[in-house]
Amino acid sequence: MKYWMAFSVFCAGCGHKNRPSLSPREGIRMVLDGTFAACTACGKEFRLIRIPLRPLVREELTSFSRDEVSRMSERLRFFKYENRKTPAATGYLR
């Protein structure tokens, strides 16, 4: 049985667990391309989002060009995924 774990972004300011989309793949894509950049609870924009480099994130990164990935590095940081139960990204406020 194949299933996907949810993708969420924790707000370091208010502690809200944001889900950019119900689909993990779509949520990851929204964070990577910058369409999801603010907390839905407090409304503040994230200056930095740390994302676990889990297999689905790696898959989505391949769909972007090198120029797009280099632009992403200004606001995104990737860290090693250690097979934790619920991998989540963390957003740091401006």
Domain ranges of the chain: 9-93
For the cut 80, the answer to whether the pLDDT of residue 86 exceeds it is no
pLDDT confidence band for 19 (50 / 70 / 90): very high
pLDDT confidence band for 93 (50 / 70 / 90): confident
Task: List strand residue ranges (DSSP E) for 1-94, in order.
Answer: 9-11, 17-18, 46-52, 76-79, 89-93
- For residue 86, how many C-alpha atoms fall within 13 Å in the half-sphere facing its CB? 9
Give the number of other CB atoms < 10 A from CB of residue 75.
16
